Amino acid sequence: MYKKIANWLLSHSDRKNYNVDILIYGLEVIGATWGKTLFFLLLGLCSGYLTETVVVLLVFSGLRSQAGGRHCKTSWGCSLTMISIIYGSILFGKLVKFPDFLMVICFVFYVFLLYEYAPYCTEKHPISDKSEIRRRKRNSIIILFFIMLTELIIQDRQVKDIIFLACSIEVFSTLSLKDVNRMIIRTRD
């Protein structure tokens, strides 16, 4: 199906120098992403946590779009991990109440982490252009500021905690184990 769509798009395009394989891959990613998003929303609707699911998806995906993050090897692994992130944030957000001052302290730490380690690149998806790295680093910090402002403005304690948890998980997904070891070594010195 994606091959047919790609060929149709290329036949109606003014530019003929597109790589059909890259276009097919992009269409597959878009299809998988929308399919998973709809699945997560349906799961949220069925479980009675639709609003909370939307909040987690917006925070996590919004920041991830610029900061990047670790990836699972399979689509199933990705789906199960995202379900864990959604329901972990929701359920943990109901159980634990984080004070605003802790959120602000963590926010300052998260700015440092994003400045140092974002965007997270993989071997399959490297970013070598220095201006692109700077742009995504800047954008991820700007998105983090908006998330933090939203978190501080919202009065509903549980929503605040859900936002904080989803944001925290995404920020930490930008770290590799090598980065964590480097941070530990820095602290010891």
The rounded distance, in Å, linking the Cα atoms of 186 and 189 is 5
The rounded distance, in Å, linking the Cα atoms of 59 and 42 is 18
**pLDDT of 173:** 86
**pLDDT of 129:** 79
**pLDDT of 180:** 55
Among 62, 172, 54, which residue's Cα sits nearest to residue 116? 172
DSSP 73: S
The rounded distance, in Å, linking the Cα atoms of 142 and 57 is 18
The rounded distance, in Å, linking the Cα atoms of 6 and 21 is 9
The rounded distance, in Å, linking the Cα atoms of 88 and 93 is 8
Burial classification of residue 4, based on how many CB atoms lie within 10 Å of its CB (0-12 exposed, 13-18 middle, 19 or more buried): exposed
Q: pLDDT tens for the chain, 189 residues: list them.
A: 767 777 777 776 766 666 667 667 666 767 777 888 899 999 999 999 999 999 999 999 889 888 888 777 887 888 899 999 999 999 999 999 999 999 999 999 999 999 988 887 766 667 777 888 899 899 999 999 999 999 989 999 999 999 999 999 999 988 875 655 555 555 555
Distance of CA 118 to the CA centre of its chain: 12
- Contact between residue 9 and residue 26 where contact means Cβ atoms under 8 Å apart: no
Query: Phi and psi dihedrals of 183, rounded to 5?
Result: -65, -40
